[in-house]
Amino acid sequence: MALLKTSTTLSFRATAFPLLPSDVTHGHTTNTRKLHWKPTQAALTSSFHLPMRSFEAKNRTSTDDVKRLRLITAIKTPYLPDGRFDLEAYDTLVNLQIENGVEGVIVGGTTGEGQLMSWDEHIMLIGHTVNCFGVKIKVIGNTGSNSTREAIHATEQGFAVGMHAALHINPYYGKTSLNGLISHFNTVLPMGPTIIYNVPSRTSQDIPPQVIQTLAQSASLAGVKECMGNDRIKQYTDNGIVVWSGNDDQCHDARWGYGATGVISVASNLVPGLMRELIIGGENPALNSKLMPLVEWLFCEPNPIGLNTALAQLGVARPVFRLPYVPLPLKKRMEFVNLVKGIGREHFIGDKDVQVLDDNDFILIGRH
């Protein structure tokens, strides 16, 4: 049997242990090896992604297509009394968005309660939306996570079922460094058109401009959903980066005064036609002022509590809440009735009279 070659290396992850010729005897190492140890170094391996199937390639949307979207609704997910998705009500909601000129929907975002879904539910809902409405409206799946591993897996699955773009939040709770943010986003950007979502009020960490400017070198970055105000939006738009306002109360000025492409809206769930007029129809301070009381009401408690309550009162979604969300109190429900009357029932989705609803009308689901 031939002797081993005079140079051998045992390789472990990110660490190499070369064996010297004197340490090798007739195919066996001696007990007194001299190991040249090198400290481990962090290494980001190239992302490996599954090849697209013909269905995915055929339905692929370019990043430029996503950049042109002006009015995007963060769509609500309605439930049945047992806590499962109410797909019939969901389809009605999406159809109403399409009929009123909305150009895109965020599926399973904060408003859609993706944080309360299993990943199986999440990807199913993205696929369902694509299959039913993907030729009429752009479907943007919220496949972000504070775990890079989960974000990669969910984004692969989202594009596999045909979503047009991905929405990605920065890692929350277990926050990382700025270099960590860049590495996290760079693992998912190559998969397809991506919107990065900056909402420090939820993540407790701002994504600063230097991070976005670094990520903008990727052709897959469609833009940023920015919640840090219009001065930040102007900073990006002055440098050619597409931005959607993430704040309904600031979106009119962001669009017409600070260069934002549009808005990713909560209020458009309720009044999609008026939001289209506000964002696409031209500068309209009077309409903006008219909508402000509704917007303030929607966000009097953390989103989506107000929206869920409003949709139940309008009769377009069952009054079912997945905990920990609970409906707004009776006083606020009475205020909503007056808001609808003031703006005009005809501007809100659905065709039923707005109701106050009693506390006992609501169903709270803890296990589903």
Active site amino acids: 197, 225
Distances (CA, A) of 163 to 105, 139, 244, 328: 11, 5, 19, 33
* Residues 254/224, Cβ–Cβ less than 8 Å: no
Output phi, psi for 366, to 5 deg. -100, -40
Distance from C-alpha of 248 to C-alpha of 222, rounded to nearest angstrom: 20
- Tokens representing 256 are 């017409």
195 close to 220: Cβ distance less than 8 angstroms: no
Helices (H), the chain: 54-58, 63-67, 87-99, 119-133, 148-160, 178-188, 200-203, 209-215, 230-237, 251-257, 272-280, 285-298, 305-314, 330-343
Cα separation, 208 vs 19, whole angstroms: 47
Q: 226 and 251 in contact (C-beta within 8 Å)?
A: no
Contact 143, 151 (CB under 8 A): yes
Q: Work out the number of other CB atoms within 10 angstroms of the CB of residue 240.
A: 8
Residue 102 and residue 268 in contact, taking contact as beta carbons nearer than 8 Å: yes
Supply angle C-alpha 316, 278, 284, rounded to 5. 140
**Size of the chain, expressed as the number of residues it contains:** 368
Query: Which DSSP string corresponds to 35-68?
Result: ----------PPP--PPPPHHHHHT---HHHHHT
* Distance of alpha carbon 239 from alpha carbon 219, whole angstroms: 15
| Burial 90-107, CB ≥16 within 10 A → b, else e | bebbbebbeebbbbbbbb
